[in-house]
Amino acid sequence: MSEKRQVLIVTPSESLRTELRDLLKSIDSVASAPLMASDNRQGLELARTRSPQLAIVELSANTIPAQTLARELSAVAPDTTVVGLLKPEFFASAPSESRLLIDSLRSGFKDFLNYPVSKGELEELIRRLSSETRRSPAKLGAVFSFISNKGGVGKSTLSVNAAAALAQRYPDRVLLVDASLQLGVAASLLDLQPTSTLTDVAREQNRLDQTLLEQLTVRHSSGLHLLAAPKNPIEATRVTEEILTQVLTLGRRTYDYIVVDTFPVFDAITVALLDLTTRAYVVTENVVPTLLGAANLIELLDQLAFPSDHVEVIINRFQNLSGSLGREDIAARIGRNIDWVLPYDKRVISAANLGRPIIEYSPTFFRFRRVLAKLVDSMEEVVGHAKSNGTTLERLPAQFTQTPTVGE
């Protein structure tokens, strides 16, 4: 007996969802209870957790949201075939039907259905899907995002140094995305003068592919590829969440590791980045107001249904001074265990001023560098485990996300 295929339906129309559900129920090769989503975010989460074989997404005249969803689906559920559903209104309102369909194909749609959908048409589509040779799960890179509730906690320094340390182990396999759009300092921390930035990515959005993405990066001597932040706040306004989604989707097909430095504001761009994040590092310090903000940030991640076992907390620039909070006090303040404690080290500041990663500046036996190496080991473990087992990185077994090595 052949395996029944799981289908995801994404449309804001309740009546259309019901109609398609009833139609799918009459097809023997389809699971009796299709997954149904009323918006793109719900559809993305269902695809992430349930990995359907087929996703039917309604296309409207404004195809950008659906095209963005198709790109995101290809990243989080690479074995899901995305099919567009075209209603008569689409053809009536679309200024250039062929142009929109071509753009949709480029974004990840594999086929289209015309409404009203007949049972025969849907069965034929599923038959074609079933006859395709079963391929092994796509090998995609992992996304590690460094986030914080405020600036000045060393988030950018950590993301840059972690990325450089990874690149030293895997030259040309690590991409650093400086998504701190208005305050990006990654290029400065690496003493690089990029000729292209995320603004150029926005300008080339319609023809962006893996080759062009790599060409828009600047290479550091460690082997790290940097996609730099815009040069100024005005240029930063041109970089949208759709563009960053496209960057991460293509980046995961090109690189093994994508490290993201984020802006310390929780907005639509941050949410879009988290949608494609394998592991999020909340960076904070052992100062009460900062810790309270970090606790609020962790609670917000929980409200957004970001998996708690994919979140790790980093206490940066820790000093065990009289009157300062210890690890247990910090854990009590934020309501969860601390995963990493990186000590204060003046060499980190000196390295930043010189535009040199700490791996090039500090001897290996200094404590900050030793803990950073353990952090990088854990990032390496995520990618190594997913590759050796052919699993999708968002769905790693619990033992690889719930019990990370704690930096001492």
Query: How many separate domains does the chain show?
Result: 2
Q: Is residue 381 part of a domain?
A: yes
Report the percent of the chain where pLDDT is more than 70.
88
Predicted confidence at residue 190, as pLDDT, reads 96
Q: Is residue 137 part of a domain?
A: no
Do 113 and 159 lie in one domain? The reply is no
Ranking 44-53, 147-156, 387-396 by mean pLDDT, the lowest is: 387-396
Q: Is residue 136 part of a domain?
A: no
Ranking 149-153, 245-249, 321-325 by mean pLDDT, the lowest is: 321-325
Q: What residues make up the domain containing 177?
A: 142-400
Can you tell me the mean pLDDT for 269-296?
Answer: 91
pLDDT in tens, 29-65: 887 788 999 999 899 888 877 778 899 999 887 888 9
Q: Is residue 1 part of a domain?
A: no
Q: Calculate the alpha carbon distances from 318 to 50, 81, 217 in Å.
A: 40, 47, 33
DSSP letter for each residue of 32-60: SS-EEESSHHHHHHHHHHH--SEEEEEE-
Residue that terminates a domain, selected from 110, 131, 152:
131
Q: Is residue 405 part of a domain?
A: no
CA distance 380 to 169: 10
Q: Is residue 406 part of a domain?
A: no
Do 38 and 76 lie in one domain? The reply is yes
Highest averaged pLDDT of the listed ranges 121-135, 289-303, 358-372: 289-303
Do 296 and 347 lie in one domain? The reply is yes
Q: Is residue 327 part of a domain?
A: yes
Q: Residue 240's CB: how many other CB atoms inside 10 A?
A: 16
Predicted confidence at residue 314, as pLDDT, reads 95
Do 108 and 149 lie in one domain? The reply is no
pTM above 0.85, yes or no: no
pLDDT in tens, 59-118: 887 888 999 999 888 877 878 899 999 887 765 655 566 777 788 888 889 889 989 998
Q: Is residue 2 part of a domain?
A: no
Do 226 and 375 lie in one domain? The reply is yes
Domain containing residue 76: CATH number: 3.40.50.2300
Do 165 and 261 lie in one domain? The reply is yes
The two three-digit tokens of residue 221, written as one number: 């001597």
Do 247 and 376 lie in one domain? The reply is yes
Nearest residue to 378 via CA among 142, 172, 147, 192: 142
Residue that terminates a domain, selected from 102, 131, 160:
131
Do 14 and 156 lie in one domain? The reply is no
Do 215 and 244 lie in one domain? The reply is yes
The two three-digit tokens of residue 36, written as one number: 């149904």
Predicted confidence at residue 322, as pLDDT, reads 66
pLDDT in tens, 224-275: 999 999 999 999 999 998 899 889 988 988 999 999 999 998 888 998 899 8
Predicted confidence at residue 97, as pLDDT, reads 67
Can you tell me the mean pLDDT for 13-30?
Answer: 90
Predicted confidence at residue 207, as pLDDT, reads 80
Give strand pairing partners of 6.
none
CA distance 72 to 66: 10
Ranking 161-165, 237-241, 302-306 by mean pLDDT, the lowest is: 302-306
Do 44 and 180 lie in one domain? The reply is no
Whether the per-residue pLDDT at 122 is higher than 50: the answer is yes
Do 117 and 146 lie in one domain? The reply is no
* Contact by Cβ (8 Å): 8, 34: yes
Read off the DSSP letter of residue 168.
H
Banded model confidence at residue 135, pLDDT cuts 50, 70, 90: very low
Higher local confidence (pLDDT), 159 or 407: 159
Backbone angles phi, psi at 208, to 5 degrees: -70, 130
Domain containing residue 306: CATH number: 3.40.50.300
Do 116 and 188 lie in one domain? The reply is no
Mean pLDDT of all residues in the chain?
Answer: 85
Banded model confidence at residue 401, pLDDT cuts 50, 70, 90: very low
Q: Which amino acid is at 362?
A: S
Residue that terminates a domain, selected from 131, 151, 171:
131
Are β-strands 218-219 and 174-179 bridged in parallel, bridged antiparallel, or unpaired? unpaired
Ranking 263-267, 292-296, 387-391, 400-404 by mean pLDDT, the lowest is: 400-404
